[in-house]
Amino acid sequence: MGRAPELAQLDRWLLQDRRRLLGVFGLGGIGKTFLTRRAALDAAPGFTAVKWVLLQDGPPPDEVLAECIHFFSGYRDTDLPPSTAGRLDRLLAYFRQARCLLILDKLEAIMQPGRSAGHFRAGYEAYGDLLGTAAETEHRSCLVVIGREQPHDMARWEVQSLRAASLHLRGMDVPAAQAILQDARIAGAPEEWAALVAHYAGNPLMLQLAAAPIRDLYAGRLDAFLAEERFAFGDVNDLLDEHFGRLATGEQDIMHWLAVERTALAVTDLVEHLLPRRPVGDVRSTLASLLRRHLTDRDAAGFFLQDIVLEYVTDRLVARMADELMAGQPDLFRRVAAAQPGCGRAPAAGPGTVSRRAPGRAPAPGLAGDG
Ligand SMILES: Nc1ncnc2c1ncn2[C@@H]1O[C@H](COP(=O)(O)OP(=O)(O)OP(=O)(O)O)[C@@H](O)[C@H]1O
Ligand SMILES: [Mg+2]
């Protein structure tokens, strides 16, 4: 449903260009799994065998390599090399013999939280070797990885091998989002639908999560729901919690600052305004990390937060400053006050009034390059 350009792009990469490593990345619920499943079904006739592995529970690399060797050998290869490197070589041999399509979904489950984005957890580095080898070695197959976080080395593999590529999935456009909610018993004028989709940045899961309260609490009236100007709640907050909980402290600081300033900030703005001050190299690498997580957006004016993320971060900021005041250690409160003479401008303005971009502006659909 919808996503025709993205699907065409994946089909081209898989079948015509014969890329060896593909990444599909984006925020939780944006539709990565849905889209990749469609693309894999389209491309399946062009491959000898197709395997989908879910990494949600963090399976050790040795286990997954063994499972893939069994599968791509038609369950004939039972004499497994004991070492990880040996298993990687063996899998590569099957990648050369036949056209195999291997899809690893939920890559973020094997990535390290609490530090900059895209580094594999301790004990899971062999997955990075698998990705690098798939990109840089001659073979006939394709490895597709799906995740909320783009691996740190992906950009290098794309440049070095020219056989690797990333699709950064953005929100859906209004007609496609409306089609997803067609059975949700929601009624609204075209501009109200556009406002709803813009508030959730075209995220299909967030729109589905919002649909139930709109129907049950507002009798399906979009105007009544929109009038409340509160969009980050319940399961939508839980989804954003999963993302925010993975951030390094420096990333959280920049997210807070983007929420305080409520406008697009260039690198130099952040270098000048962030408290405590941070060197430009540090700010740059933190922003690059946030882009790999899809929590921050960027346009010609600078870096900014989508409305739903802005509302969520503002709520967190207010709650954290309140906690600090109660504990008598108002560190964040002081920093925000120092950056905002007269204070209050940002957090005190209230989450309902945070919209940086006019509601109704449809999210940019389609494909985007990496930062
Ligand atoms: N193009 C689409 N058409 C219809 N429904 C869609 C589409 N894309 C996504 N959805 C729906 O949106 C929800 C989220 O999609 P999906 O599970 O693919 O997200 P995801 O990006 O893989 O999220 P996560 O990071 O949590 O794995 C699902 O219920 C899915 O059916
Ligand atoms: Mg998914």
Q: What percent of the chain stands above pLDDT 90?
A: 78
Angle between helices 249-261 and 280-293 (to 10 degrees): 90
CA-wise closest residue to 158 among 131, 138, 140: 131
Residue 370 lies in a domain: no
What's the mean pLDDT when you consider all of the chain? 89
Give the ligand with the smallest distance to the CA of 181: 1
In this structure, the residue with its CA closest to atom 10 of ligand 1 is 31
Residue 363 lies in a domain: no
Final residue in a domain of this structure, among 150, 168, 186 = 168
Whether 182 and 264 share a structural domain: no
Q: Which residues form the pocket of ligand 1, taking CB atoms under 6 Å from any ligand atom? A: 1-3, 26, 28-34, 148, 180, 204-205, 208
Whether 118 and 182 share a structural domain: no
Residue 221 lies in a domain: yes
In this structure, the residue with its CA closest to atom 28 of ligand 1 is 205
CATH number at residue 287: 1.10.10
Residue 296 lies in a domain: yes
Q: Could you tell which of 34, 38, 57, 208 is best to mutate to test the pocket of ligand 1, judged by most ligand atoms within 8 Å of the CB?
A: 34
CA of 105 to the centre of ligand 2 (A): 7
**What confidence tier does 306 reach under pLDDT thresholds 50, 70, 90?**
very high
Whether 202 and 301 share a structural domain: no
For residue 103, the cross-strand partners are 52, 144
CA atoms within 13 A on the CB side of 217: 9
Give the ligand with the smallest distance to the CA of 7: 1
The total of other beta-carbon atoms located within 10 Å of residue 92's CB is 17
Final residue in a domain of this structure, among 168, 197, 212 = 168
Give the ligand with the smallest distance to the CA of 240: 1
CA-wise closest residue to 200 among 235, 171, 169, 241: 171
Final residue in a domain of this structure, among 151, 168, 185 = 168
Classified as helix, coil or strand, 142 is strand
Q: Could you tell which of 33, 110, 246 is best to mutate to test the pocket of ligand 1, judged by most ligand atoms within 8 Å of the CB?
A: 33
CA of 182 to the centre of ligand 1 (A): 16
pLDDT digits (tens, 9 = 90+) for 161-196: 889 999 999 999 999 999 999 999 999 999 999 999
Whether 135 and 42 share a structural domain: yes
- Whole-angstrom distance between the N-terminal and C-terminal Cα of the chain? 28
Residue 233 lies in a domain: no
CA-wise closest residue to 130 among 140, 142, 122, 116: 142
CA-to-CA distance for 303 and 57, rounded, in angstroms?
33
CA of 348 to the centre of ligand 2 (A): 36
- Which two tokens mark 325? 């005041």
**What confidence tier does 329 reach under pLDDT thresholds 50, 70, 90?**
confident
Residue 324 lies in a domain: yes
Q: What pLDDT is stored for residue 343 in this prediction? A: 40
Quick one: 268 exposed, middle or buried, by C-beta within 10 A (0-12, 13-18, 19+)? exposed
Q: What pLDDT is stored for residue 26 in this prediction? A: 97
Sign of torsion over alpha carbons 246, 252, 254, 259: positive
Whether 127 and 205 share a structural domain: no
Give the ligand with the smallest distance to the CA of 29: 1
**What confidence tier does 337 reach under pLDDT thresholds 50, 70, 90?**
confident
**What confidence tier does 276 reach under pLDDT thresholds 50, 70, 90?**
confident
CA of 105 to the centre of ligand 1 (A): 13
Kind plus residue range of the DSSP H or E element containing 4: helix 4-11
Whether 180 and 124 share a structural domain: no
- Which two tokens mark 342? 């007269």
- C-alpha separations of 211 from 199, 232, 236, 310 in Å: 13, 13, 11, 21
- Cis-peptide into 276, omega within 30 deg: yes
The domain tally of the chain equals 3
pLDDT digits (tens, 9 = 90+) for 116-145: 999 999 999 999 999 999 999 999 999 999
Q: What pLDDT is stored for residue 339 in this prediction? A: 65
Work out which ligand 1 atom sits closest to the CA atom of 147: 25
| Domain assignment of residue 209, given as a range | 174-228
CA of 35 to the centre of ligand 1 (A): 8
Whether 220 and 246 share a structural domain: no
Residue 295 lies in a domain: yes
Whether 11 and 66 share a structural domain: yes
* Sheet strands (E) in 34-120: 49-54, 100-105
CA of 329 to the centre of ligand 1 (A): 42
Whether 153 and 211 share a structural domain: no
pLDDT digits (tens, 9 = 90+) for 200-218: 999 999 999 999 999 999 9
CA of 294 to the centre of ligand 2 (A): 14
Whether 187 and 164 share a structural domain: no
At residue 327, does pLDDT exceed 70?
yes
Q: Are strands 100-105 and 49-54 parallel, antiparallel or unpaired?
A: parallel
What would the mean pLDDT of 86-108 be, rounded to a whole number? 97
Residue 329 lies in a domain: yes
Whether 143 and 37 share a structural domain: yes
Work out which ligand 1 atom sits closest to the CA atom of 239: 26
For residue 302, the cross-strand partners are 299
Give the pTM. Answer: 0.90
Give the ligand with the smallest distance to the CA of 104: 2
Please tell me which residue, 53 or 359, carries the higher pLDDT value. 53
Whether 182 and 288 share a structural domain: no
Q: Could you tell which of 41, 205, 209, 295 is best to mutate to test the pocket of ligand 1, judged by most ligand atoms within 8 Å of the CB?
A: 205
